[in-house]
Amino acid sequence: MGNCFFSQDKNTNVRVSLPAVCFVWEIAMVVLFGIFVRYNEEADAHWGEYKKTHNITTDMENDFYYRYPSFQDVHVMIFVGFGFLMTFLKRYSFGAVGFTFLIAAFGLQWALLMQGWFHSLDYSTGKILIGIENLINADFCCGGVLIAFGALLGKVSPVQMMVVSLFGVTLYAVEEYIILNLLHCRDAGGSMVIHTFGGYYGLAISWILYRPNLNKSKHLNGSVYHSDLFAMIGTLFLWLFWPSFNSAIANHGDGQHRAAINTYISLAASVVTAVAISSMTEKRGRLDMVHIQNATLAGGVAMGASAEFMISPYGSLIVGFFCGIISTFGFKFVSPFLEKHLKLQDTCGIHNLHAVPGMLGGFISAIVAAMASESVYKLTLPVYSAGTQGGAIVGLILKLPIWGDPADDNCFDDE
């Protein structure tokens, strides 16, 4: 996968580098988990005593029961949703699903550590105490990295993606800490923290890795009938479980309830308007599968930051309404423009599905929370910096000729 047979110029053999990276990093995980990671009081065998001392009368009050169903939905979104959404390429479906699997499985371990140091450190013992909410946050973090993968799909080797993943998780944890803990913003569904960050991180890397001769593998950069249908599996599981994504770490009670309702409504609206724009811009009103697979999800991305707020059902409907339109226009007109004039090769169009709707979500949340425009500016800064500057540096690292990236004429091919 991600390799090729006939590239004289490039050494695409990852038989040494991939196992080496996997083993070194996994052993590091074992050591660091051994030093740092323990169960929190709700997952620990002391839960019985904890219940008594905190006057809790039932096991139902364990956070596990508030969040586990949502966690499983998020888990499906990360691995099946993102994985299959990217299977649309006719010859790179394994690469899409397989590398998603690898990146996310490694990323979530590193995320448990990075996010743990920032958010779940018990200062008295120096241990990270994990519970169900940490698992959800680790999955979210992998979501950010997988968004970046969308821009790079088919053009990078698995070793490069491991590097993208290592730095991506690190940058994510830092910008998340700044936004949530230093600037005290709420972003339960991660419009800014996940989508805008992941979007700009991926775009910056892709911009640095620009391939002028990518049209050599143009014949492979497209879909066939059944690969498009596999991609719909990804689309639908993302769309269906997005209410869980935005409500997974919202406040117990009305917070989770409202976040789910708002996201459900916003997503429904973005399907209808994405279909309208898609039909309007295509010959004879036919629908473009790319729009159906992607732009229909924009309402979920944009509701991330304000899902918990009292934005009211029609507010959610309006958000979905406009995001479906903006995202579809993005796929139709902005992506070709970016590729032609800005040398930005964005395989899955993450600019239109994640970067822009995420940004809009941030603005909407700022409006709903009645923030001063200065604060909004301060808020967006860490996301952009981490995304673009971090991405640029990672891109430069990936240009080193040691990572086994495929030649131009072997992109989008997992043979």
Between 252 and 399, name the residue whose CB sits nearer to a copy of itself: 252
- Shortest Å distance, C-beta 32 to a copy of itself: 8
Q: How far apart are CA 194 and CA 186, in angstroms?
A: 13
d(CA 193, CA 179): 8
Packing angle of the helix pair 373-384, 158-177 (nearest 10 deg): 150
Among 86, 108, 302, 411, binds a copy of itself (CB under 8 A): 108
112-151 positions binding a copy of itself, by CB under 8 A: 112, 130-132, 135
> Side by side, which strands form the sheet with 37-39?
37-39, 127-130, 121-122
φ/ψ bin of 184: left (φ > 0), alpha (ψ from -120 to 50), beta (otherwise): left
State in angstroms the smallest separation of the CB of 31 from a copy of itself: 8
Residue of 237, 310, 301 whose CA lies nearest to 263: 301
Among 6, 8, 53, 253, binds a copy of itself (CB under 8 A): 253
Q: Could you tell me which residues are beta bridge partners of residue 129?
A: 38
User: 14 or 171: whose CB is closer to a copy of itself?
Assistant: 14
Q: What does the alpha-carbon distance between residue 143 and residue 281 come to, in Å, rounded to a whole number?
A: 31
Beta strands 37-39; 121-122: pairing state? unpaired
CB of 1 to a copy of itself, least distance (A): 5
Tell which positions 10-39 bind a copy of itself, by CB under 8 A: 12-19, 22-23, 25-26, 29-30, 33-34, 37-39
Quick one: 206 or 246, whose CB is closer to a copy of itself?
246
CB-wise, 287 or 400, nearer to a copy of itself? 287
Contacts to a copy of itself from residues 81-100, by CB under 8 A: 83-84, 87, 93-94, 97-98
Q: Using alpha carbons, select from 221, 226, 176, 148 the residue that is nearest to residue 394.
A: 148
> Which is nearer to a copy of itself, 19 or 336 (by Cβ)?
19
Measured from the CB atom, the residue of 73 and 175 that comes closer to a copy of itself is 73
CA distances from 111 to 43, 104, 198, 334 (A): 19, 10, 14, 33
Is 3 a residue that touches a copy of itself (CB under 8 A)? yes
Among 144, 190, 243, 395, binds a copy of itself (CB under 8 A): 243
- Please list every residue from 186 through 225 that binds a copy of itself, using CB under 8 A: 225
Token couple for 13 = 């053999």
Is 135 or 209 the residue whose CB approaches a copy of itself more closely?
Answer: 135
Binding residue for a copy of itself, selected from 52, 226, 343, 399, defined by CB under 8 A = 226
C-alpha 205/C-alpha 200 separation (Å) is 8
d(CA 146, CA 164): 10
Query: Residues 86, 146, 163, 271: which binds a copy of itself (CB under 8 A)?
Result: 271
Q: Which of 256, 306, 352, 410 binds a copy of itself (CB under 8 A)?
A: 256
Residues 342-401 that bind a copy of itself (CB under 8 A): none
**CA distance between the termini of the chain:** 5
Binding residues for a copy of itself, rule CB under 8 A, total 118
CA 53 to centroid of chain Cα atoms: 39
Residues 43-82 that bind a copy of itself (CB under 8 A): 43-48, 51, 58-66, 68-70, 72-73, 75-76, 79-80
